[in-house]
Structure formats: C-alpha cells, structure tokens
Amino acid sequence: MNRSIGVLGPEGTFSEKAAKRYSPEASLRYYRDFEEVIAAVEGGEVDLGVVPLENSLEGSVGMTLDALLRRDVKITGEINLRVRHCLLGIGRPEEVKVILSHPQALAQCRSYLKRRFPQVELRTTGSTSHAAKLAGEFSEMAAIADAEAAEQYDLSVIERDVQDSDQNVTRFVVVGREAPEPSGRDKTSLAVYLERAEPGALWEVLGEFAKRGINLTKIESRPSKRGLGDYYFFIDLEGHVSDPLVEEALARIRERAAMTKVLGSYPRTDPGGTSER
C-alpha cells in the first residue's frame, strides 16, 4: 500500500518535487500552507508531510518552525533540493506589470527583480504554483516558479535561473508521527526554551554538547511571541537521540531549560542538494 504525503499545493510546487524525490510512488495530497500540512500529519489525514525548513539564501521558514514546536509530530527525514527559479508568463517581458510568487521565492530573487524589473509590482501568493496558475490569466502578469510549472499551467519560460545565487538550496523535512530507528548517520533537531535567560545560560546549554564532543550544525533563535527579547532556540546536532552521549547531554539540558523538545532524530543528507532544472 502506497504512503500518502501532504505537500503545499496546488500542483507544481517545490514541496511537491521534494516529496516525489523522497518517495516517487507516494500518493500526494495538497494543502494551502505548511501549517495545514503538518496538522494533517498530526491528525492522521496523511502518513507523512514534506515542508521546507530553511533556505540557503533566506534562512529558516518561520511557519514550519512554529508548527513543529506546537504539533505532536516528528521530523523523520530531510531532502536538500537545489532550487532554480524561472520567470513564467504568457506575455513578453516588456508587457509585465505584476510579478507573483511565494514570499520566499520573491526574496530569493530580490536582486534580479530590482535590476530587471525595478518598476514592477510584486505580489505574494500562497505558493509558487499558485502564482503560475494566476499568471496564465493576463499577459501583464508573470510568476516566479519552477520551470515544470510552465508545462503544468501552459506558460512560457520568459527567463531561466533568476535566483540571486546558483547555490540556492532549500532543505525540506519529512514529518511523521513515529520516530525512525537510528541509521548510524543521524541528525537530531531540538527546540529549547530558557524561561529566565540568566547570564551564561545559553553558554551552559551549548557547553553540554561541547564537553561531549557533539557537533552542532545549526543554532538560531526565534521569538517566543511572549514578549520582546524572549526566544526559543532551535538546535541541530550530529547524532541520534538514543546515542548515550546525546542522551546524557539532553538530560543535563532539561535540568536547566524550562522546555526541551526533540523535534526529531533522522538520517542526515548531503547539505549541497541536487540540482533541479
């Protein structure tokens, strides 16, 4: 029986492409935003979800981090996808008055848009494929989206590779309800909340990993929304939550932190991603 995977819709998104890379035979279901995808996994509507977690140009995707923090789900895998954006439409470049796309895609093409279309109105949409669908309605509209979306929505590729860097990689995570077994080459993602950020509190938390030789691959803060200067810390580390040294470090951190949530332990992949055109 094929698994079902929830992704951002409609058809033609990079989330869809990442899901097909992860499980080509899976049945896909489409949702309006990343929060809905993760909620569908938690509620059992789909077996898994594939959502973007961070981009090499624009950083983390806040909606995904917030949903992972609130929802009872686990990160079970990751897919690093090299993203190539194109300008799609039915008109000529000189006709374009409005360019549509998802906020992340517009941000990844910021320099190109300022240089090539300084007077054009930019409008955000729920996904790159939704932008492509809308761009087919008027010649004055164009979309930033994947080249494959041009075929999906009968558009022309006006310009290719419009992202601001060739090293544009988006890290997608696979979200499920059950944690995978250790693979021997794993990554663990955590969220830590220090209710009273006393001097040196974060240093002490990070020191628990350092003294055990556990390599941290990412650490960032995100507002807790409880007040200015109040943060959650999101940490990625090499190793599985069941590894003795990781277990030991987490036990010590839980003594210091007001909240420690393991977002998942899962096989890690090459950070470079694979080119998609």
pLDDT interval class at 225 (50, 70, 90): confident
pLDDT interval class at 229 (50, 70, 90): confident
| The pTM of the whole model exceeds 0.75 | yes
Whole-number Å distance between alpha carbons of 179 and 58:
28
pLDDT at 146: 95
Catalytically annotated residues: 170, 172
Helix axis angle for 244-256 and 201-210, nearest 10°, is: 170
Whole-number Å distance between alpha carbons of 167 and 204:
34
Contact 276, 172 (CB under 8 A): no
Parts of the chain belonging to CATH 3.40.190.10? 4-83+169-179, 86-159
Please provide the CATH number assigned to the domain covering 86-159: 3.40.190.10
The DSSP bridge partners found for residue 216 are 237
| CATH topology for the 4-83+169-179 domain | D-Maltodextrin-Binding Protein; domain 2 (3.40.190)
pLDDT interval class at 274 (50, 70, 90): very low
Express each pLDDT in 7-42 by its tens digit: 999 999 999 999 999 999 999 999 999 999 999 999
Encode 221-238: b = buried (16+ Cβ within 10 Å), e = exposed.
Answer: eeeeeeeeeebbbbbbbb
pLDDT interval class at 201 (50, 70, 90): confident
Least confident of 85-99, 178-192, 224-238: 224-238
Please provide the CATH number assigned to the domain covering 186-267: 3.30.70.260
Those residues with Cβ within 8 angstroms of residue 103's Cβ, 6 or more apart along the chain or in another chain: 124
What one-character DSSP code corresponds to residue 58?
A: T
Parts of the chain belonging to CATH 3.30.70.260? 186-267
pLDDT at 197: 60
